[in-house]
Amino acid sequence: MLNIDGFAYTNRLRQVHPLEKAAFAFITMFLCIGFSLPVFSCIIILLMAYAIIGLARIPMKVYLKLMSLPLSFLSIGVLTIAVSISTHGFGAAQLAGITISGINIGITHSGLHSAAGLFFKSLGAVSCLYFLSLTTPAVEIVDVMRKLKIPALFIELTDLIYRFIFVMLATAEDIYTSQSSRWGYASLKNSMKSLGQLTAALFIKAYHRSQTLFTALSSRGYNGRLNVLAPEYTVSVINIVIIAIVESTLAITAILLEMGKIG
Amino acid sequence: MKTRKTLVYTVFYILGVMLLLPPNAYAMHIMEGYLPINWAGIWFAMVIPFIFLGLRSIQKTINTNPGLKMLLGLAGAFAFVLSSLKIPSVTGSCSHPTGVGLGAIMFGPMTMSVLGCIVLIFQAVLLAHGGITTLGANTFSMGVVGPIVSYFVYRLAKKLGAPIWLSVFLAAALGDLLTYITTSLQLALAFPAQYGGILASLVKFMGVFAVTQVPLAISEGILTVVVFNVLMSYNKQELQELSVLTKEV
């Protein structure tokens, strides 16, 4: 159903401490966004690809498919930045363009440059996010949030929502299958009606389920707090040293590249 | 002659955007890493007060009605599942955060900011829609602006004596449109155009996303009305029980 979630439980880095994985993903991500250098972003994309395919053993085909998911937003977003619109033309800066009823639509060198930089930067950041979500189950990401002192109510709601996502998803899929097997999505009008009924049924099901859950919990002495034991992980000194070395190498590379660009 | 040429270009442009959009576009979540680091931080700072107020109002209701926590948990999961369904629309079917209008009417805008934020975290982690660094910006447009607009439009329309279907339609459709305008504004502020600055950039982003978002807003409005009608005719009792949340419905 959600294949990212499946891989999070079965990958080779499952036993590594979640805080170590989160630190690795987020420090790299901030370096990637902090320094907007296309070459540096490409290094990060390759590094994360190695960590995901080589270390966590996620199949390459799956990973490539996941990396193509954000391309729809990215292609539109990047093209919008690459294309400039003006009423007085761009002069020599213009590489190509057309004029429609007095409005110039064109591509300029600097627009193209910033669009390309943004393209690689976003893909680099996305690969860092994929590293975290493909190697760390959501429950453990919530544990990391707990260590960051985020309010307890927020964490509890997050836990509850995660647990129910799968129940609701299965219910919605069952309803969808039975509707579409009765031509429920054969036309636009039918689709509207079916989807409306699905949503309403799902909402009422969620409502009743929450009531039964509360009854069940109250009868077992629920007092407003759901306490669960977090799985224990051993902190690995070697991992921390490796992460520190990789991150500082990345930071030095970025600074050198930045200086080279200026100089 | 000139208008015909413009028309031809417009048709080509719409076809071009539709060609670029895969059948399953989650176009309005700003993706991971797209915003520069300073803008990501600013939107986080803008969202935190709303989350804080939302948590406080939830805590207050939970103190008197402890079962509500379970309901909010299921409501969040419901919103997540809805966002992974495809809404039928003229420009192909498109996935979308459907719950915004519906949730705002039922649970109130403050609660929705918290639920919206959590749902967006799971969308980023489990589905790779949106991202962690852009979480602040996405929560602001989908969890704060959208629900507030929906909620007040619904209240206002009801007060002015509009029939309930019209109030629901306007709430859902306008909430959706404002969400899309907010996202375009966020993108324009982060990437002002070289020629014409923020305003030109805003026109560009709104123009590109209008192709999918305007029909979607209308579809979502109609869909929310259908949902509301089903709920009103078959589940009136549940709706009344729910009214602890907004004091009316």
pLDDT tens, position by position, B165-176: 899 999 989 988
Of A86, A118, A167, the CB nearest to B34: A118
pLDDT, position B247: 52
Contact call for residues B85 and A195 (beta carbons, < 8 A): yes
Residues A130 and A35 placed together within one structural domain of the fold: yes
* Best of A24, A129, A155 to mutate (most B CBs within 10 Å, chain B): A129
A122 lies in the same domain as A3: yes
Of B33, B128, B196, the CB nearest to A33: B33
- Enumerate the residues of chain A whose CB falls inside 8 A of the CB of residue B21: 72, 76
Q: Closest to B227 (Cβ–Cβ): which among A84, A153, A196? A: A196
How are strands ordered across the β-sheet holding A103-108? A83-86, A103-108, A94-100
**Does A100 lie in the same domain as A219?**
no
A-chain residue closest to B80, CA distance: A165
Q: B44: number of CA atoms within 13 Å, CB side?
A: 12
Same-domain pairing of A128 and A175: no
Q: Are residues A18 and A132 in the same domain?
A: yes
pLDDT at A138: 87
* Domain with A2 in it: 1-136+233-263
**Chain B residues within an 8 Å CB radius of A184:** none
Mean pLDDT of B38-54: 93
Q: Cα–Cα–Cα angle for B171, B174, B179, nearest 5°?
A: 120
Q: Which two tokens stand for residue B52?
A: 């804080």
Is the CB of A123 inside 8 Å of chain B's CB atoms? yes
Note the pLDDT of residue B24.
43
**pLDDT (0 to 100) of residue A92:** 56
| Predicted TM-score (pTM) of this structure | 0.85
Q: Tell whether A111 and A3 lie within a shared domain.
A: yes
A67 in the same domain as A46: yes
Does residue A131 share a domain with residue A35? yes
Return d(Cα B231, Cα A197) in angstroms, integer: 9
DSSP letter assigned to residue A148: T
Indicate the average pLDDT of chain A: 85
Residues A127 and A191 in one domain: no
Chain B contact present for A186, CB below 8 A:
no
Question: Which range, of A88-92, A191-195, B192-196, averages the lowest pLDDT?
Answer: A88-92
Q: Closest approach of chain B CAs to the CA of A157, in angstroms?
A: 6
Whether residue A192 sits in one domain with residue A83? no
Question: Nearest CA of chain B to the CA of A248: how many Å?
Answer: 20
| Banded pLDDT at B249 (limits 50, 70, 90) | very low
The residue with greater pLDDT, A29 or B107, is: A29
Distance between CA B93 and CA B87 in Å, rounded? 5
Mean pLDDT of chain B: 81
B34 vs A71, A77, A169: nearest CB = A77
Give the closest residue to B123 by CA, choosing from A2, A217, A177: A2
pLDDT of residue B48: 94
If asked whether residues A132 and A149 sit together in one domain, one would say no
Whether pLDDT at A256 is above 50: yes
Tally the domains of chain A.
Answer: 2
pLDDT for the residue numbered A98? 66
Q: Is A126 on the interface with B (CB under 8 A)?
A: yes
Higher per-residue pLDDT: A103 or A157: A157
For residue A94, pLDDT beyond 90: no
pLDDT the model gives residue B22: 45
pLDDT in tens, A51-85: 999 888 889 998 998 888 788 778 877 888 887 77
Q: Are B175 and B152 contacting, i.e. CB atoms less than 8 angstroms apart?
A: no
Whether A9 and A121 share a structural domain: yes
